[in-house]
Amino acid sequence: MSIEIAKKVLEEWFARRGLRLEYEGERELVLIEGNNKVYVRISSEEFPTESYIIDELSAAMKNRLKYNKAYIAFPRNARGLINGKLFKSHWVGVYLYDVSSALSDPDRAVEELIPSIPIQLPQGGNEEIEKRLSEIEKTIAELRSAVDGLNIKTLMRDVAELREKLLRMESTINDLINRVSRLERVGITAANTAQVSTEGGGGGELPDFLSDNPWIEVLRRRGGGGG
C-alpha cells in the first residue's frame, strides 16, 4: 500500500477535525491543533516486526521535544502487533488507518489506538517557573534546618552498635558453616571408603567430566613434576 494514499487519507481526516497542516514530508506530517504542534509519522507496514517498530519509534523520538504530541500511523491490520506499553513509555501515540473505508465512511478511516501523552513545550511561562523555583528553595532551606536539628551523634552510635551485633552474628554463622562442612566431609569420606574398598584401588575422587582425560596428565607435567 502506498504511503501517498495513506498520507491523503490522514490529511483529510485531520482537516475534518479542524487541524491545520503545517508541513508535509515524505513520511511525516506536522499539524497545528490550537496551540499544539502534532507530529505524525506514517508507516505502510501491515505486519511490522518488533525491530521495525523500534526503528520507527526511535525515528519519531528524534524530535520528540519539538512537538506537544507525536504519533505513528500504521495500517489497521497492524493492530495486533502494536505493543501499547512500549509506545506509552515513550509518550508516543498510535493511529490506525484504513484506506479502503476512506470513501464509504471517511470518519472511521482513522482511529486513535493509543493517545499521545502531551508534553509542555518551554515557551513563555517564565513566571510560573520562577514561582516553582522559589518554592523549592524554601523547601530546601526547611529541610536543611531539619537535618541540622537531628542528633547525628546518637544515630552514629546506634549504627556502630548494630554493626557490632551483625559482626558477632556473622562469626557465629561462619562457625556453624565450618562445623556443618566438617560433618559433611566425614560423611563423604565414609561413603567414598565404602565405594573404593569394593574396587580395591585408590583415587576415584574425580568427577566424571575430569576423569579419563589425557590432558590432565599432560598439563600437570608443566608444573615441573608429576602429580
Partner 1 sequence: MIDESKYKLNYVYAEDFGTGYFKYGPITLRDKPYMIQSRGLFLRDLPESIKLLVPKEVLERGVVVGDEIPKYLSSVRDAIRNLRYPLKDGIIRKEDEDSWRIVKELARYGFSQFYPEFARRPDFKGFFLVVALSALAPDYMRDRMIEIHRELDNEFDGKLLQAVTIIDQPFAVAIAEKAVTCTVIEAGHGNIQLVPISYGPIREGIVALNRGGAEANAITREILKDSGYGDLAKDEYVVEIVKRNAGLVPRNLDEAVKKARENPDKFSIKVKINPLVEVELRDTAWMRFLIGEIIFNPKHEVFTSYIQQGRLVIEDVTVGDMVFYGEMDMAEALITSIRKVPVEIQDKIMSTIILSGGAFSWSVPPGLEDVAVNSVDKIKIMVSERLPDLATRLSISMVKDPQFSVWKGAIIYGYALPSNVKWNERTKEGWYYLH
Note the residues at the interface with partner 1 (CB under 8 A): 45, 47, 49-52, 54-55, 58, 61, 81, 85-86, 89-90, 173-174, 177-178, 181, 205, 207, 209-210, 212-216, 218-220, 222-224, 227
> Which SS3 state, helix, strand or coil, does residue 100 take?
helix
d(CA 137, CA 147): 15
Q: What is the dihedral of CA 2, 97, 69, 53, to 10 degrees?
A: -70
State the DSSP string of 104-165: T-GGGSEEEEEPPPP----SS-HHHHHHHHHHHHHHHHHHHHHHHHS-HHHHHHHHHHHHHH
Least distance between partner 1 and beta carbon 208 (Å): 9
Nearer to partner 1 by C-beta: 1 or 15? 1
Nearer to partner 1 by C-beta: 200 or 224? 224
Least distance between partner 1 and beta carbon 77 (Å): 9
Assigned C-alpha cell, 70: 507525536
Least distance between partner 1 and beta carbon 21 (Å): 28
Nearer to partner 1 by C-beta: 34 or 80? 80
Nearer to partner 1 by C-beta: 49 or 134? 49
Nearer to partner 1 by C-beta: 107 or 205? 205
Least distance between partner 1 and beta carbon 71 (Å): 17
Least distance between partner 1 and beta carbon 149 (Å): 26
d(CA 151, CA 149): 6
d(CA 119, CA 61): 13
Nearer to partner 1 by C-beta: 28 or 45? 45
User: Per this entry, what is the length of the chain?
Assistant: 227
Assigned C-alpha cell, 86: 512500549
Least distance between partner 1 and beta carbon 90 (Å): 7
